[in-house]
């Protein structure tokens, strides 16, 4: 199974680029930019990555992002992730970034965007990895701040395909951002949102009904509403599930208790993703392997996660067909 997963062409739809900042690069950038970090070594950083819930992770995650200052830093961060994609045989990726984490520290929106897109362009040209960029609003901040961020993004509409919603879910329901999502969709952005990771199943319904999302990020708490599970299966509303993240943040106690295989078998369009791989202990192959180790799944079922991700992706029809052909050929020839 390990070899099958390694060589399976994969598509990632839930990856926070700031969450791919490995401790070694964090140190290098801290030194380069003369930013203080409260750790003496990369090993010490890793030892601090024990989380009890989403907020305990976010506190450390936002602190880590402080070392990102120059356009080159955002390039280096994104390029390191793309090299990892190549090793894991990820052929297409749709990446989140959190502009407010940077603009609130005085970093220009354009600096962040230029660095990330320069790496993504090079990834397409040199590695053949196609990609899209999704800008997330931080839901612990207010609606005005989200509107201001959307205004900053409008001139860059061609380089950002969609908007998302992340950060602390509990107490920050979808309706807080109903108007800003309506404006974003009017401006041509596709919508996604984190929902049902720590928040209740009603947040998943509200993200669909009030925010007009095309995918739900996480969504694993849908099982608390049986009718919702049936609706998600019928509509094929994709869930971008992140197995290692869910266990690290104690959404599930153990990978054997994770519901992703159950959801797959109930006909939902579930996909496997890495979320914040530098913090949660693994990239795409590690996430696939963790699911396969903990659950009795067939190769066909593992491949279905890739086929679901192609269906759920924002790639154009031509690229989707290309990716379907790559996966089909892989299944036919082994
Ligand atoms: N949930 C919410 N916000 C986030 C996450 C997540 O899994 N990762 C980075 N920001
Ligand atoms: Zn996430």
- The answer as to whether 27 is a domain residue is no
Domain count, the chain: 1
**Ligand 1 touching residue 245 (CB < 6 A):** yes
pLDDT tens by residue, 76-98: 999 999 999 999 999 999 999 99
Asked whether residue 64 is assigned to any structural domain, the reply reads no
Asked whether 217 lines ligand 1 (CB < 6 A), one says: no
- Residue 242's domain spans which residues? 2-18+82-333
- Out of 170, 220, 275, 279, give the residue to mutate to test ligand 1, the one with the largest number of ligand atoms within 8 Å of its CB: 275
Confidence at residue 142, expressed as pLDDT on a 0 to 100 scale = 98
Residue pLDDT, tens place only, 242-293: 999 999 999 999 999 999 999 999 999 999 999 999 999 999 999 999 999 9
- 94 among known catalytic residues: no
> Looking at ligand 1, which atom is closest to the CA of residue 18?
9
Residue nearest to atom 2 of ligand 1 (CA): 167
Across 116-145, average pLDDT:
98
Q: What is the pLDDT of residues 177-216, one digit of tens each?
A: 999 999 999 999 999 999 999 999 999 999 999 999 999 9
- Residue 334, pLDDT above cutoff 90: no
pTM over 0.75: yes
Does residue 285 fall inside a structural domain?
A: yes
Residue 286 covered by a domain: yes
In a domain, 71, yes or no: no
Tell me whether residue 172 is in a domain: yes
Q: How many CB atoms lie within 10 A of CB 179?
A: 13
Ligand 1 binding pocket includes 308 (Cβ within 6 Å): no
Separation of CA 167 and ligand 1 centre (Å): 5
37 within a domain of the structure (yes/no): no
Q: Is 175 left (phi over 0), alpha (psi -120 to 50) or beta?
A: alpha
Radius of gyration of the chain (CA): 19
Q: Is residue 50 part of a domain?
A: no
Cα gap 57→29, rounded to integer Å:
21
CATH of the domain at 267: 3.20.20.140
Within 10 Å of residue 249's Cβ, how many Cβ atoms? 24
């Amino acid at each position: 199974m390990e070899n099958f997963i390694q060589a399976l062409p994969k598509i990632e739809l839930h990856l926070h680029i700031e969450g791919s900042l490995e401790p070694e690069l964090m140190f290098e950038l801290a030194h380069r930019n003369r930013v203080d970090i409260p750790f003496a070594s990369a090993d010490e950083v890793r030892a601090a990555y024990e989380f009890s819930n989403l907020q305990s992770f976010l506190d450390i995650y936002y602190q880590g992002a402080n070392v990102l200052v120059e356009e080159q830093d955002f390039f280096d961060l994104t390029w390191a992730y793309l090299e990892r994609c190549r090793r894991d045989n990820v052929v297409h990726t749709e990446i989140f970034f959190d502009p407010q984490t940077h603009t609130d520290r005085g970093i220009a929106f354009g600096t962040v965007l230029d660095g990330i897109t320069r790496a993504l362009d090079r990834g397409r040209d040199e590695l053949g990895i196609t990609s899209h960029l999704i800008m997330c609003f931080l839901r612990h901040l207010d609606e005005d701040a989200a509107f201001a961020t959307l205004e900053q993004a409008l001139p860059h509409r061609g380089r950002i395909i969609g908007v998302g919603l992340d950060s602390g879910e509990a107490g920050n329901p979808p309706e807080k951002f109903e108007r800003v999502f309506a404006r974003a969709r009017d401006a041509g952005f596709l919508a996604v949102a984190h929902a049902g990771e720590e928040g209740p199943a009603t947040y998943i319904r509200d993200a669909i009904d009030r925010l007009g999302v095309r995918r739900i990020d996480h969504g694993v708490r849908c099982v608390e509403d049986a009718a919702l599970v049936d609706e998600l299966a019928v509509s094929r509303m994709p869930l971008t599930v992140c197995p290692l993240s869910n266990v690290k943040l104690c959404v599930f106690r153990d990978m054997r208790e994770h519901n992703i295989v159950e959801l797959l078998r109930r006909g939902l369009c579930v996909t496997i993703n890495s979320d914040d791989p530098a913090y949660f202990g693994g990239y795409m192959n590690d996430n696939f392997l963790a699911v396969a180790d903990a659950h009795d799944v067939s190769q066909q079922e593992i491949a279905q996660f890739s086929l679901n991700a192609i269906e759920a992706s924002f790639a154009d029809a031509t690229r989707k067909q290309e990716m379907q052909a790559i996966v089909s050929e892989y299944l036919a020839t082994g």
